[in-house]
């Protein structure tokens, strides 16, 4: 594993996965996501593990999908790359997953945190779906999960302006479980994971499945719809302009084409 660190038994029955591309603010490239999928599959099959924590570092949980990897892609490249089958497998992990978030959780980073079952945040955490600023839109569940978590008006504002939400606001809006001082966020995640790990793994599995079921019957359809629109963004000049501008460190000029 090059971009993640896995400690299968960081504490009793609790495994820790740390995203580990710190220089790139843990930007989620295809390799990292593949490694994450494989690690989760292994931990799901490991009978000693009863709860999983995914974390980044103090500065960033993850600043989104890797823009540099996507910048030159066409809609059909994106379709053929089929990165969302990886996300689908992560979503199907049977054991409870807690995201321990500090710093940036943006774009795919925010979507990854929302794909987890619970979120513990440090007071420095910032949540956002800033894809609109680079000429695209959320593609890994953002429009669906954020809306379900915080409601239409707030989600719409975040998705259409790209503005970030502080950890305090995210707690108020019900996006996350709680906020703690930065030196305690991982500890707090371990505390929660430890509590869950003392419960029946069978009941925990079935309970997780059932809570998710409350909205997932409609989620498949929503994700399918979102995905088509995400791919379609890659047919626009604005996507090329937005992503190139990011890579070249300049302001984008969007033309609506
Ligand atoms: C690739 C990224 C990146 C990203 C940061 N970096 N985010 N590289 N993809 N998403 C890189 C920068 O290029 C830079 O590398 C290094 O990480 C540090 O970032 P800086 O910008 O210098 O840091 P700072 O000024 O502190 O700004 C932090 C930031 C900013 C506000 C988080 O980096 C930012 O706006 N990042 C992009 C956020 C975003 O748009 N995310 C959504 C992506 S699309 P170099 O080598 O240049 O110094 C997406 C779609 C998901 O997620 C759906 C499909 C899965």
**CA 237 – CA 257 distance, rounded (Å):** 6
User: Which of residues 238 and 223 earns the better pLDDT score?
Assistant: 238
Strand partners, 7: 16
Summarize pLDDT for 114-153 with one digit per residue, the tens.
Answer: 999 999 999 999 999 999 999 999 999 999 999 999 999 9
Distance 47 CA to ligand 1 centre (A): 37
Domain 201-247, second-level architecture: Orthogonal Bundle (1.10)
Distance 24 CA to ligand 1 centre (A): 7
Mean of the pLDDT values across residues 232-250?
95
Please state which of the ranges 18-22, 81-85, 197-201, 214-218 shows the lowest mean pLDDT.
Answer: 214-218
Percent of the chain topping pLDDT 70: 99
Summarize pLDDT for 162-186 with one digit per residue, the tens.
Answer: 999 999 999 999 999 999 999 999 9
Mean of the pLDDT values across residues 149-160?
98
Query: How confident is the prediction for the chain on average, in pLDDT?
Result: 95
Run of H or E residues at 186: helix 185-197
Distance 40 CA to ligand 1 centre (A): 25
Mean of the pLDDT values across residues 11-35?
97
Q: Are 37 and 85 in contact (CB under 8 A)?
A: no
Nearest ligand 1 atom to the CA of 60 is: 32
Instruction: Say how many C-beta atoms besides its own lie within 10 A of residue 218's C-beta.
Output: 11
Nearest ligand 1 atom to the CA of 65 is: 52
**Residues identified as active-site:** 65, 108, 111, 131
Q: Which of 1, 121, 130 is nearest to 54 (CA)?
A: 121
Q: Which of 56, 63, 84, 107 to mutate to test the pocket of ligand 1 (most atoms within 8 A of CB)?
A: 63
Strand partners, 128: 106
Q: Are 147 and 120 in contact (CB under 8 A)?
A: no
Atom 43, ligand 1: residue with shortest CA distance: 64
Residues of the chain with CATH 3.90.226.10: 4-197
pLDDT of the residue at 34? 97
Q: Which residues line ligand 1 (CB under 6 A)?
A: 24-25, 27, 63-68, 104, 106-108, 130-131, 134, 138-140
Distance 9 CA to ligand 1 centre (A): 31
Record the pTM.
Answer: 0.94
Distance 149 CA to ligand 1 centre (A): 24
Residue 242: pLDDT over 80:
yes
Residue 214: pLDDT over 90:
no
Residues of the chain with CATH 1.10.12.10: 201-247
Nearest ligand 1 atom to the CA of 162 is: 40
Q: Which residues contact 172 (CB under 8 A, 6 or more apart)?
A: none
Domain 4-197 is classified in which CATH homologous superfamily?
2-enoyl-CoA Hydratase; Chain A, domain 1 (3.90.226.10)
Q: Which of 20, 26, 62, 67 to mutate to test the pocket of ligand 1 (most atoms within 8 A of CB)?
A: 67
Atom 38, ligand 1: residue with shortest CA distance: 63
Atom 30, ligand 1: residue with shortest CA distance: 63
């Amino acid at each position: 594993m090059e971009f993640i660190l896995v400690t299968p038994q960081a504490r009793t029955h609790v495994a820790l996965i740390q995203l580990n591309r710190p220089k790139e603010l843990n930007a989620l490239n295809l390799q990292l996501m593949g490694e994450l999928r494989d690690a989760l599959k292994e931990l799901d099959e490991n009978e000693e593990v009863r709860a999983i924590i995914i974390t980044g570092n103090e500065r960033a949980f993850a600043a989104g999908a890797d823009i540099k990897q996507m910048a030159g892609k066409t809609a059909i490249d994106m379709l053929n790359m089929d990165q969302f089958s990886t996300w689908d497998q992560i979503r199907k992990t049977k054991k409870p997953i807690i995201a321990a978030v500090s710093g940036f959780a943006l774009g795919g980073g925010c979507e990854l945190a929302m794909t987890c079952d619970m979120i513990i945040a440090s007071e420095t955490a910032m949540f956002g779906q800033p894809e609109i600023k680079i000429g695209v839109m959320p593609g890994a569940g953002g429009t669906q999960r954020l809306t379900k978590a915080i409601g239409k008006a707030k989600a719409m504002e975040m998705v259409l302006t790209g503005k970030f939400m502080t950890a305090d606001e995210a707690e108020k809006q019900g996006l996350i479980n709680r906020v703690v001082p930065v030196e305690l966020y991982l500890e707090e995640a371990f505390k929660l994971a430890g509590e869950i790990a003392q419960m029946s793994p069978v009941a925990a599995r079935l309970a997780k499945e059932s809570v998710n079921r409350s909205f997932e019957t409609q989620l498949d359809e929503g994700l399918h719809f979102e995905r088509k629109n995400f791919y379609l963004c890659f047919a626009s000049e604005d996507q090329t302009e937005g992503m190139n501008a990011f890579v070249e460190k300049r302001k984008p000029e969007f033309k609506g084409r």
